[in-house]
Chain A
């Protein structure tokens, strides 16, 4: 042990003195006097490491529970436990899980939970990386002890310890080279063999994380940059970069958490409302696996198109998503109950699940080499949306409003049907109801569903206490020239349970749709309200109905309107429009029907 400490001290001293062991050395680590070298040093390191394969990490979910950790291998479903009360969220780095508990840092084999080593430390884990041989752990400052980076071999030997005096992000490790993001814009590369900072790159977007995924190395937070042959151009914004579309999503979720902060043992809002994506090569550049990224909002997860942010699929979870990881071909999500579900990237089809066996307080997932086969026939997205939207969830209104807009955009008549169901649902919040009604008015399909809905009337004894969305349906059916709607709309004119706005829109639709068969209800409406109309909606409705009466009622209809136009008992605001109508100053707007 003493010998180990001597070695560490020697390395630290060596680093401080700047002995480079024959490597290029760009100066003191975290030295802010550094001048951008135009990408020379980072390009050199990239060239040196380009032949090195970056090992893919284990497929594992690790949950925090009161008594410690529970883990599950995503491929086999085999679970493990670690029975020490942890004081921060664990990190998965390659095939290792690191976590602090009771003043010690523990490394566990990710696949089995077997303890690899432990070390006494101060501070909590705020980042980690692993290159298959060595684990690099970033520890937060604690009680006067500065933050530090420590490199530990599989046998528990500490081979490098670096004090950190600047704000650093979450580092990673590739081929014994530590990639350390700091001050939101730099990534310094430290050769752990020599302790020298052998390269530094300045990035043009906020960067607090270095991580490996799919056998490649990335830096980022707001967008990502790949460590490849173009990394030398990073300071000139010429590196391989990928950013997610700027799409407004419920709760404004973010993809990468700000690095360099230890995770809490209990999940927070960020965990429940976040974005997942798997970087992937896209021609010469960088994109996202399957052209997808994913967003969670508590119990709902959606798949989105990489280029446009358009919705590709939506799924409901049993409980809140606390963590997850995108993998090649899909997404793994860990729920509060400990269920870990897999979803196919393209369609959201279920691709199996495993379980941690218990409810968890927080969950971290790595799925770097996972492959899953989805169920063969996924539901169409319109069906998914119809199922996922549940207006009884008062805490999910933002997400349901988002999904509702997506549903409205769906061309299928099923969307019309679901919108009608929502319109009849007394639990639909007012804001959503306004969206539903707007959406229905814009539909141009699903006429059968609309007619069926119009067939329903307020009926206290039958327990039908919601009126149909008469106005929006009238707008849509009139636009579709659906004459079968005429008798139903005519009935609704004379249903006092309908709002006057709905009545007005029904009347406007009847102006074009009414036939001789609707003459009686039209005339009834006209008679009942021409002397009692108490608002502008009703006045407009009466003018529309008068036009319809003239059109379908011939000379008798015109005479009825004329008599009302010159009757002083007709409400004053209606008299002149009716006089214009019968005098020909305002001709009927349509002649069809």
Chain B
């Protein structure tokens, strides 16, 4: 009786999955799945819903190797299997596979693993969310900034930067002030002019090796996002430090500055390099 129920449920899942794949393919103006692809999807879903852990593992691994739009047909099932609960090794495999597929619908079931007691699973979940994206992912990463594990916090901070989570810059500042060094680069990626100024004002309070990761991001932000004046102010801040490490950083920026970018900023960098030449701890 139970076997019949399960078969019916599996068939339903398969139909829904394929339909979703078709709809998604149509929406993207591509052709629907081929017979071979349908067959592979069927096989993957059968593996994912198997009672045998090896089959489930193989299902996730197989899903990774599918084309993105075909893999999307398996995602709902893969999400559901993850959400029902898996042993640690399988959950790790599942999180990695879902990360590789990168479907936004996976963010919610992945997010639930951010509260798992197994630290490795929380780390995998954070990494996966960066790939699956979406509001659930951003919210999850924001919460993960408060995690008890330093690596989870660091990965979450980096992830928020990668996801462009400008709404969570305040959280990143809090994280930075609590020694989450990875938050610096993310702030540099996301900050508004005022926020960048707030960031720069932490110079001296937070180690330069950390601050420099954010400065680098700010200086190399698209000129449409960050004006020349704002960049020149940052360069001024770094120059004022007058240290060898400031000099080395400025010189590195000088070397990497795109030729077709602002001449004004370039000049400011040149001057700063010149004025920090011979600073203590710098080049001879």
- Where the two chains meet, the residues of A that have a C-beta atom closer than 8 Å to any C-beta of B are 458-463, 494-497, 500, 524, 526-532, 563-564, 566-569
Contact = CB atoms under 8 A, between A and B. Distances in A.
Contacts of B202: none
A459 B117 contact: no
A568 B51 contact: yes
Interface string B34-64: 0000000000000000011100100000000
A495 B175 contact: no
Interface in B107-127: 112-113, 115-119, 121-122
Given A495-B115, A524-B112, A528-B113, A462 B87 contact: no
A500 B117 contact: yes
B112 A460 contact: no
Given A462-B146, A527-B83, A569-B86, A532 B118 contact: yes
A121 to B, nearest CB: 70
Q: Does more than half of chain A's interface fall in helix, strand or loop, or is it mixed?
A: loop
Nearest to B81: A569
A207 to B, nearest CB: 63
B178 A461 contact: yes
Interface of B: 2, 51-53, 56, 83-88, 90-91, 112-113, 115-119, 121-122, 145-148, 153, 171, 174-175, 178
Given A460-B147, A461-B174, A462-B146, A528 B116 contact: yes
Nearest to A538: B117
Contacts of B147: 460
B87 A532 contact: yes
A569 B54 CA distance: 11
B76 to A, nearest CB: 16
Contacts of B85: 526-532, 564, 569
Contacts of B113: 528
A569 B87 contact: yes
B116 to A, nearest CB: 5
Contacts of B53: 568-569
Contacts of B121: 532
A458 B90 contact: no
A461 B86 contact: no
Given A568-B51, A569-B51, A569-B87, 7 more contacts: A461-B174, A494-B115, A524-B115, A528-B115, A531-B86, A564-B85, A566-B2
A567 B51 contact: yes
Contacts of A494: 115
Contact of A461 (B52, B83, B87, B175): B175
B237 to A, nearest CB: 26
A460 B145 contact: yes
A575 to B, nearest CB: 13
A459 B171 CA distance: 12
A461 B145 contact: yes
B145 A532 contact: no
Contacts of B145: 460-461
Contact of B116 (A497, A500, A532): A532
A249 B86 CA distance: 54
Contacts of A563: 84
Contacts of B148: 458, 460, 496-497
Given A460-B145, A460-B146, A532 B51 contact: no
25 contacts: A458-B148, A459-B146, A460-B147, A460-B148, A461-B145, A461-B146, A461-B171, A461-B174, A495-B115, A496-B119, A524-B112, A526-B85, A527-B84, A528-B115, A530-B85, A532-B85, A532-B116, A532-B117, A532-B118, A563-B84, A564-B85, A567-B51, A568-B51, A569-B56, A569-B85
A459 B175 CA distance: 11
B122 A496 contact: yes
B84 to A, nearest CB: 6
B86 A460 contact: no
Contacts of A496: 115-117, 119, 122, 148
A566 B2 CA distance: 11
A370 B88 CA distance: 75
What are the 6 closest A-B residue pairs judged by CB atoms, nearest first? A527-B85, A496-B117, A494-B115, A461-B174, A459-B146, A460-B146
A560 to B, nearest CB: 9
Contacts of B112: 524, 527-528
Contacts of A569: 51, 53, 56, 85-87, 90
A496 B88 CA distance: 15
A567 B87 CA distance: 12
B91 to A, nearest CB: 7
A458 B56 CA distance: 35
Given A460-B148, A496-B122, A531 B87 contact: yes
Contact of B178 (A460, A524, A529, A530): A460
A269 to B, nearest CB: 43
A198 B262 CA distance: 116
